[in-house]
Structure formats: structure tokens, C-alpha cells
Amino acid sequence: MGLVPLAFLQRIKRSDTMYNSKITGLGFYVPDHVVTNDDLSKLMDTSDEWIQERTGIRERRHVVGDSDTTTAMGVKAARIAIERAGIDKDEVDFIVFATLSPDYYFPGPGVLVQRDLGLRTVGALDVRNQCSGFVYGLSVADQYVKTGMYKNVLVIGSELHSRGLDRTTRGRGVSVIFGDGAGAAIVSREENPDKGILSTHLHSEGEHAEELSVIAPGMGKRWVTDILRDNDPDDISYYPYMNGQFVFKNAVVRFSEVILEGLKTNNLQPSDIDMLIPHQANLRISQFIQKKFGLSDDQVYNNIMQYGNTTAASIPIALTEAWEKGKIKKGDLVVLAAFGSGFTWGSAIIRW
């Protein structure tokens, strides 16, 4: 058999796929321990006023001791999502786990979820796309469900940042922003082509990889043995580095672009959006996007004030919370959008 002509592949449109996919269950979990801005100002030279003014964050959750891990939080969120989807855990066909803070260097947390939830020997995929990890994971699940390969895919975004932050004045530009938590979704087969995940849009620009990064330990520049050998108290290679203003400038552009790309693909306008769930990077970024698209406070959901930036977990936590509060109704147009380290960014356009 010869190669499939490109023109034929290009003709395959959404209406030609066998199925659609939709989110049938959502759950989230955050640790109990609340860390306020005032708590942080006891550890470093910062203030509630500075943090709120620049980021909108009032408090975040931190794991205490070894009470929770990235996987354990993901499992707690997943149990809720599975129950709400109305399926048995044995009906989960595949796991996608997005995180930048895995329990182990390897294996990734996907297999730990398979073990800890007692799932059949289903496949487990780990996604390393930081703040846009959940949108990337959702896109993977969407494709598997649309092609008919799987009926129910579990997508988790979970982060345990607190253990890896420099909670001194040296690290204040980064450490005040991030929080711990997890969110999960079940993506299931849907027969109605006008309902569910209409499209997803993914991008990257590796040119700026180091602008928001943790470079060690890694096999590229600095491994654990190098860090131990140097024993340098000024070594900050294993703490997150962020060029905050550069990230901010790129974020507002890419968020806007990828939301518009998704809307355009589906012949929709910004005014069609019922609920925008932006990755909770910074309240100022969300407010910029809200203003740009002329959306009201009811059309954008933010909870960074309570949880900080939880990276891959922020969208599923916010989506779950918005849904739990009744802010997302059947038939609503829900838009998810994310931007972060990589740089990577993406959006998902969903008819609820």
C-alpha cells in the first residue's frame, strides 16, 4: 500500500472523526495548610501589599512534612473526578499526568497513579509542559477519545512546589507566587459532535526555555553529583529562575493569540465565551486578557488569590471550582488557556 496522500489527510475534518470527547468528571485537592503573605514576610523581605499589588495572591497552600506528594494529591483529585464521571475505576483506559514537580526523577507519577488507584495495567503518560501541562494533557486525551482508541482518559495536573522554593529574600521574586495542589478530569467518549471538546491548540517557543526554568539537577548542565561536589552556598541552579517581566510580556501576547486561534477555528467570537478559565499565572495577566476581550467578571474565573500559581494544577482546580459553584452550565462555551515555561502555551474550546 502506498503513502496516504497529504491532500486526503488535510480533508479529514472534525465532522469526519468517529467520536467527540467531553469532560464528564472533575475533582481537585489542595493541602489544608494555608500560607498567607504575612507568613512569607516572616521568612523573607516581602509584604502583603507588594504581593497583592503585583500578583493578586493573598494566600497559597503548602504541603507540610511528607503528608502529601504530587502523586498523592493527584490521586485524591482523581478519585473525585472518577466518582463524578459515574464510572468505575476499572473503566479508566489511560492516564495522562502533567507536572513539573514529580515524586521521583524517574519513573514519572503516571505509573504511581496506576498503582495507587489500583487501575488495570492501563498506559500512563507523563507530560512535562509546566503551566500549560493540563491543556497539553487534555489535548492528548481528546485525540485518543476522538479516534475511538479509548473511552475514558484520566487527566491529572498536580504540583508540589513548596519543597523546591527558595523561601529567603534571594528567592522572593519566585517563591511568593507558587502553591501546591492538584486537579483532575475524566475525558470520555461523546457521540454528539457539537458537544464537548471542540478543539485544542498547542504551541511552543524553546528559544526562551531558560527564561523560566530549573536547570539542575539535569543531565545537561548540572547533575546532583556536581552540586554536591561544589557544595556552594550561593548555588541557586536547583531553584526556579524566572525572568518575571519577560514572562509577563510574552504571556499576555500568547494568551490572547491562542484564545483567538481557538475561537476562530470554531467560527466563534470573544463575545461567545461564557467562561474563560485562564491558567492562574498572575491576576494581572488574567485581568489584562479579560479587558482585551471585553469580558465581565462573571465570564472569567480566577482563584489565584486563594491558591497562588499551581502550574499544571491551576486550570483543573479553577475549572472544578467554577463548576462546583454552578458557574458553568450545560451548553456554555468554556475556554481554557495557558502559558508558561518552555515557553509553551495552548487553549481548549469546550461546549459544555
3-state secondary structure 109-164: HHHHHHHHCCCCCCEEEEECCHHHHHHHHHHHHHHHHHCCCCCEEEEEEEECCHHH
The residue at minimum Cβ distance from ligand COA is: 244
Q: Shortest Cβ distance from residue 304 to ligand COA (Å)? A: 10
Residue number, 225 or 245, with CB nearest to ligand COA: 245
CA angle 124–69–119, rounded 5-degree value: 35
Question: Do residues 165 and 214 touch, judged by C-beta distance below 8 A?
Answer: no
The rounded Cα 76 to chain-centroid distance in angstroms is 16
Angle between helix axes 48-55 and 283-292 (nearest 10 degrees) is 30
161 flagged as catalytic: no
Residue number, 284 or 327, with CB nearest to ligand COA: 284
Going from the C-alpha of 198 to that of each of 153, 192, 330, the distances in angstroms are 17, 11, 15
203 flagged as catalytic: no
- Whether omega before 316 lies within 30 degrees of 0, making that bond cis, reads no
Q: Shortest Cβ distance from residue 232 to ligand COA (Å)? A: 22
Catalytic residue among 129, 131, 152, 282: 131
Question: Which residue(s) pair with 188 in the sheet?
Answer: 22, 152
Residue number, 95 or 174, with CB nearest to ligand COA: 174
279 flagged as catalytic: yes
Q: Specify the pairing of strand 333-340 against strand 241-242.
A: unpaired
Q: Shortest Cβ distance from residue 137 to ligand COA (Å)? A: 16
Residue number, 195 or 203, with CB nearest to ligand COA: 203
Question: Do residues 182 and 74 touch, judged by C-beta distance below 8 A?
Answer: yes
Alpha helix stretches (DSSP H) within 231-341: 244-265, 283-292, 304-307, 314-324
Catalytic residue among 62, 161, 201, 279: 279
d(CA 51, CA 57): 6
Q: Shortest Cβ distance from residue 291 to ligand COA (Å)? A: 17
Q: Shortest Cβ distance from residue 311 to ligand COA (Å)? A: 7
Q: Shortest Cβ distance from residue 111 to ligand COA (Å)? A: 27
Catalytic residue among 20, 152, 282, 309: 309
Residues within the interface to ligand COA (CB under 6 A): 46, 50-51, 54-55, 131, 172-173, 176, 242, 244-245, 247-248, 251, 281-282, 285, 309, 339-340
Residue number, 164 or 244, with CB nearest to ligand COA: 244
Q: Which residues are catalytic?
A: 131, 279, 309
